[in-house]
Amino acid sequence: MTDSGGKKQLLHLVFGGELENLEGIQFRDLGDLDIVGIFPDYATALTAWKAKAQQTVDNAHMRYFIVHMHRLLDPQDTTGSK
């Protein structure tokens, strides 16, 4: 699994939504989740995460997350430290 530059893809999903409360990770409305996108590496995903988090800074219940999809697709792969 490589990108067009020959570098191994380490896919990351960035998504977010409004939480029920600040102590947990239970979303108010799963139908209203914001799927930001799937990114080829952690650095790109982090940039997207920061942008979305900054846009919603006034809503304390809004949270964005980075999911390491490459770890879900291949649990034996330990490539990538983040």
Q: How far apart are CA 73 and CA 5, in angstroms?
A: 21
Please tell me the CATH superfamily of domain 12-73, with its number: Uncharacterised protein PF13773, DUF4170 (3.30.70.2400)
Listed in sequence order, the DSSP H helices in the chain are 42-55, 69-73
* Token code pair at residue 44: 């790109």
Query: For residue range 40-53, what is the model confidence (pLDDT) as tens digits?
Result: 999 999 999 999 99
Residue written as token pair 């940039």: 47
Query: For residue range 10-28, what is the model confidence (pLDDT) as tens digits?
Result: 999 999 999 999 999 999 9
Domain limits, the chain = 12-73
CB 21 within 8 A of CB 69: no
Q: Which among 70, 62, 60, 68 is positioned nearest to 27, based on CA atoms?
A: 62
Q: State pTM to two decimals.
A: 0.81
Query: For residue range 51-60, what is the model confidence (pLDDT) as tens digits?
Result: 999 999 999 9
Average pLDDT, stretch 56-77?
A: 90
